[in-house]
Structure 1
Amino acid sequence: MTQVSVTIAGRSYRMACEDGEEAHLEGLARAFDAKIGDMRRAFGEIGDMRLHVMAALTFADQLSEIRDRVRALEAQNARAEEAAAQRLSQEEALRRELAEKVNAAAQRIERLSATLASKPR
């Protein structure tokens, strides 16, 4: 575990994270700090705790919307995969049918050829 110091709303916080995750944690802290700054400019000085809660709820709302979009895309992907599987199955059936027809035509040609070859000229 690595210790990282981040600053949010002018306060420094020491946090632990996995090795290699320092930049990610610092980026998250910067995004949270920026959101608090945006809200402070929009709503004025309404208290740090309230600004922190509002920023957290804003991110939670965005996360909820993203999860909803992911679920919708997963459902759309599942439908597309099912449609592709059905098309593949139909294509395989058509190929089998075509192969049977080509085989039947070849057999008919062979019979006609044999019939013509057996007739005297």
Structure 2
Amino acid sequence: MAQVTVRIGGYSHPVACQDGQEQHLVSMAAEVDRRIAALKAMGLQLGETRMLVLAALQLADEASDLREEIGALKSAPPSTALPEDDAMAGRLVAVAERIEAIAGELAAP
């Protein structure tokens, strides 16, 4: 199990991840950091925990939208679905699951 220290919102957070997933984790942390920076740019002055909650909710909302889109693609008649749609849907599900796992790790005490 690898250990990575990521910076989000100006704070360092040590996070464990599977070996080989370090760069992926750093990339996801950078996305969370961008969202927190955007919240701060809107003039929000909240504590670290609140900012992380808002960023996590934004990511969860996007993941939910992606799951709905994937569900709609999967329920579409086979004649209208392209083979690439299934591959893309699978990748989107994997990304959504990774986002939820990271959000869960960040929320864990």
**Do the structures match in fold with TM over 0.5?**
yes
Q: Deviations over 1:43-91 (max 9, x none)?
A: 3313322221111111110000000000000011xx225xxxxxxxxxx
Q: Distance in 1 between matches of 2:71 and 2:38?
A: 30
Q: Distance in 2 between matches of 1:57 and 1:44?
A: 16
Unaligned runs of 5+ in 2: 80-109
Q: Deviations over 1:10-47 (max 9, x none)?
A: 11111111111000000010000110000111133133
Q: Distance in 2 between matches of 1:16 and 1:63?
A: 22
Q: Distance in 2 between matches of 1:50 and 1:64?
A: 21
Q: Which has the higher contact order (CA 8 A, sep 6+)?
A: 2
Q: How many residues align?
A: 80
Max radius of gyration: which structure? 1
Percent identical among aligned pairs is 37
Alignment correspondent of 2:78: 80
Report the aligned-residue RMSD. 1.6
Q: Distance in 2 between matches of 1:46 and 1:15?
A: 23
Alignment correspondent of 1:105: none
Alignment correspondent of 2:51: 51
Correspondence list, 1:30-69, <5 A: 30-69=30-69
Normalising to structure 1: TM-score of the pair?
Answer: 0.61
Tell me which amino acid in the other structure corresponds to 2:78: A
Alignment correspondent of 1:87: none
Alignment correspondent of 2:8: 8
Tell me which amino acid in the other structure corresponds to 1:10: G
